[in-house]
Structure 1
Amino acid sequence: MEKRKLGRTDLEVSSLCLGTMTWGEQNTKAEAYEQLDYAVDQGINFIDTAELYPVPSRAQTQGRTEEIIGDWMKDRGNRSDIILATKIIGRSENDWYRDGGVAPRLNRAQVLEAVDKNLKRLKTDYIDLYQIHWPDRKVTQFGSNPLIYSHPGATEDETPIAETIAAMQELVKAGKVRHVGLSNESAWGMMNYLNEAETGTGPRVVSIQNAYSLLNRTFEINLAEIAMREQVGLLAYSSLGQGVITGKYLDGKQPAGARMTLFKNFGGRYQTIGAEPAVRRYLEIAEKFEVDVAQMALAFVLSRPFTTSVILGATKMEQLKTDIASHEFKLTDEMKKELDAVHMLHSNPCP
């Protein structure tokens, strides 16, 4: 499998990254081990998780995914072979993440507390890529790239980006974290983090993990140029629109065991009035070229010059095998032209 540079670092990550957010909820520990073993066997060396996982986040299960990964690395004795990414949550009112029931923020004290808990659950003494899951400031929409702007206003306890990145510098100096990345961040936020690094406040961010798919190409509007010029690569998530692109939810279908079937409020981002018309057109293109629609959609994201890695998440091994095979799928110029034509008619229905 192709390896790509992670930002300006010397790390080379696989072009596909194994996502983990269902482990400990929809997937058992044994199923997680099966996915991990298969992914590594196929050449994936990059694993992404978070303190929040599994989803949906609950006090009873929070952190379980990291614990599973930690157990697997210990059992396999392969920590040095894995490039491990995890995350610290941003602003939240959920009271089960921090000691004393404190509302999560990205201030220095909480960054230092969170990373030690990450490390303990993961049974490791360092994290390759520590990502800020979402901003501390209020933003107009989760993901920070809205099509319709609604000003959220500031808050009195908003943690300055300078404080957050300075705390990350402490983690790097202590050897607990090798590199820092962003997630669900906007162009304004990304440039502020980069500017703080230029002034010596903290480490330079090396990646940004945002949603990017045929149903959501908002990353291209402003962030893509920054990613290319500043060498802060995209780690794309939801590249199948939580499975919506496969057509399995069309006409109100609720497949047994599917995420949006189990968790009714989980998929609102991909259940918009513009989603179904776009999905039907993409399915038509896949049928015309006699290709798998999931592989076509993933290959599209992989082909973008600003993409470092595409994060795959699957609950079933059959899904995972299909998705991993997408790294061998090559889009033709004719396919790209038709995909862009659909995008012009159905632009970003699921931002």
Structure 2
Amino acid sequence: MRYVELGNSELKVSEVCLGTMTWGIQNTQADADAQLDMALEHGINIIDTAEMYPVPPNKETYGDTERIIGNWLRRHPDKRSEVVIMSKVAGSGLDYIREGTPVTAKSLIAALDASLKRLQTDAIDVYQLHWPGRKTPHFDKHWPGTVSPLDINTAQETDAMRDILSGLNNAINDGKIRHWGLSNDTPWGIHTFLSLCREMNVPAPVSIQNEFSLLHAKDWPYLIEMCAAEHIAYLPWSPLATGMLSGKYVNGARPAGSRWTFVQRHGLFRDTDLAQQATQAYMKIARDAGMTPSQLALCWCRQVPGVTSTIIGATSLTQLEENIGAFTQTLTPSTLQQIGDVLKRYPLPF
């Protein structure tokens, strides 16, 4: 396993990050325990979660993923120093989480205290803002005419971000978090937070996690360039496009218990004709390269300049082992050329 610096922090993390959002709906405590054991055996030392997990989010299971991790930490206290735990505070929009209100300094501390209790730990290594308070071009909103940048009240948003930073700074000073990061944000969001950090003398964010895959490469190269220049770790989430790039959903297939059989908060917007065509093209490349489609997609993410650690998830140990195995493989120049040709043909298929 290769280890890399997490942005401008002192943390050394594995190039594979264990995602946990299925724990609590698709996976039980026993499943999670087994996944954690396998991950640590393979040298994975970074675990990503969130207060709103598991996904799809709902009131009944809210916080259960953190509880599952906390139960494991309680039974394995010696492992706490071996792992980097990342969690996230939910933004506005879910009425059962702080009545759907935006993140503020006050609500952030309340959310953080609740997460610490569920995780049964004294501090979270990286505490992330799950999504911005403003509307951003994520979750099928990246097409022209969907979200207008002219609608942003920059003064209002900047004041809100300044307030959030004061809460994060208090949490760092109180030892409740070691670092903080972003999620589902944009170059303007990163730039503004960095400017405010300098203004307020607050530590800068160490990471950002955004959706990034062969079917959704919109962060390359502009946002990733900014991350590299500012020493912010870039962590792709959903590198398999919610499982689509594994090939299991081709031709309308819906394997029992798979993610797409559950109601999706934003719908199955990734399931388009172009995305299906691109997936089948990548599946052929994978067969010719002697690897699984999932491994091809993950191996591609790994080699993108500026990618720090790729967040992978699985609902079975077989899937997890397959996904981890992708990081022991390399893509030949010929395979990369073939992938590049398909990527140019289908740059944003959903």
TM-score class, shorter: over 0.9
Question: Is contact 2:48-2:87 (8 Å) kept?
Answer: yes
Shift of 1:149: 4.3
Correspondence for 2:239: 239
Distance 1:70 1:143, change over 3 A: farther
What is the CA distance between 1:47 and its match in structure 2? 0.2
SS of match in other structure, 1:241: coil
Q: 2:128 aligns with which of 131, 136, 139?
A: 131
* Contact 2:88/2:128 (8 A) holds in 1: yes
Other-structure match for 2:3:
3
In the alignment, residue 81 of structure 1 is paired with which amino acid?
Answer: E
Does the alignment pair 1:80 with 2:81?
Answer: yes
Q: Which amino acid aligns with 2:262?
A: L
Q: Cα deviation per residue 1:233-253 (whole Å; 9 max; x = unaligned)?
A: 111111011110121111111
The residue number in structure 1 matching 2:146 is 150
- Aligned residues of 2:18 and 2:44 also touching (Cα < 8 A): yes
Q: Which moved more, 1:51-60 or 1:258-267?
A: 258-267
Letter of the 1:151 counterpart: V
Distance 1:312 1:263, change over 3 A: same
Q: Deviations over 1:121-146 (max 9, x none)?
A: 000110000000000112244387x1
Measured against aligned partners, the alpha-carbon deviations of 1:295-331 in whole angstroms (never above 9, x if no partner) come to: 1110111112211111111111110010011110111
How far apart are the structure 2 equivalents of 1:43 and 1:315? 19
Change (3 A) 1:96 1:176: same
CA shift at 1:109, angstroms?
A: 1.1
Closer, same or farther: CA 292–209 of 1 in aligned 2, 3 Å: same
Kindly indicate whether the alpha-carbon contact (under 8 Å) linking 2:92 and 2:133 is maintained by their aligned counterparts in 1.
yes
- Residues 143 and 200 of structure 1, relative CA distance in 2, 3 Å threshold: farther
Return the offset for 1:200.
2.7
Amino acid of the structure 2 residue aligned with 1:335:
T
Q: Counterparts of 1:277-288 in structure 2 under 5 Å? A: 277-288=277-288
1:187 equivalenced with 2:213 (yes/no) = no
Instruction: Give the match for residue 258 of structure 1.
Output: 258
Superposition RMSD in Å? 1.8
CA drift of 1:28 comes to: 0.7
Mapped partners of 1:210, 1:203: distance in 2: 21
CA contact (8 A) 1:140 1:149 kept: no
Contact 1:166/1:201, CA 8 A, preserved across alignment: no
Alignment-mate amino acid for residue 6 of structure 2: L
Q: Which residue of structure 1 lines up, in the alignment, with residue 112 of structure 2? A: 115
Deviations 1:56-113 (A, max 9, x none): 1111110010011011011012111110000001122x23222xxx323111111111
Q: 2:52 — aligned with what?
A: 52
**Alignment partner, residue 209 of structure 1:** 209
Letter in 2 for 1:126: A
Please say if residues 16 and 44 of structure 1, whose CA atoms lie closer than 8 Å, have aligned partners that are also in contact: yes
User: Aligned partners of 1:143, 1:50: CA distance in 2, in Å?
Assistant: 21
**1:321 paired residue number:** 321
Per the alignment, do residues 179 and 2 of structure 1 end up closer, same or farther by CA in structure 2, a change over 3 Å counting? same
1:188 aligned partner, one-letter code: W
Name the CA distance, whole Å, in 1 between partners of 2:147 and 2:318.
43
Q: Distance in 2 between matches of 1:304 and 1:165?
A: 31
1-side partners of 2:168 and 2:215: how far apart? 33
Q: What is the rounded CA distance, in whole Å, between the counterparts of 2:137 and 2:270 in structure 1? A: 17
Instruction: State whether residues 134 and 143 of structure 1, in contact with CA within 8 Å, keep that contact through their aligned partners in structure 2.
Output: no
1:308 is matched with 308
Q: CA deviation at 1:261?
A: 1.4
Question: Residues 243-272 of structure 1: CA distance to partner in whole angstroms, max 9, x if unpaired?
Answer: 101211111111111110133666523212
Aligned to 1:32: 32
Equivalent positions of 1:10-25 (< 5 A) are: 10-25=10-25
TM-score of the two chains, using structure 2 as the length reference: 0.94
C-alpha distance in 2, partners of 1:189/1:50? 20
Deviations 1:2-22 (A, max 9, x none): 111000111001100110001
Deviates more, 1:14-23 or 1:216-225: 216-225
Cα shift at 1:199 = 1.7
* Cα shift at 1:202: 2.5
Task: Tell me the equivalent position of 1:105.
Answer: 102
Work out whether residues 143 and 185 of structure 1, in 8 Å CA contact, stay in contact via their aligned partners in 2. no
How high is the sequence identity, in percent, across the aligned residues? 37
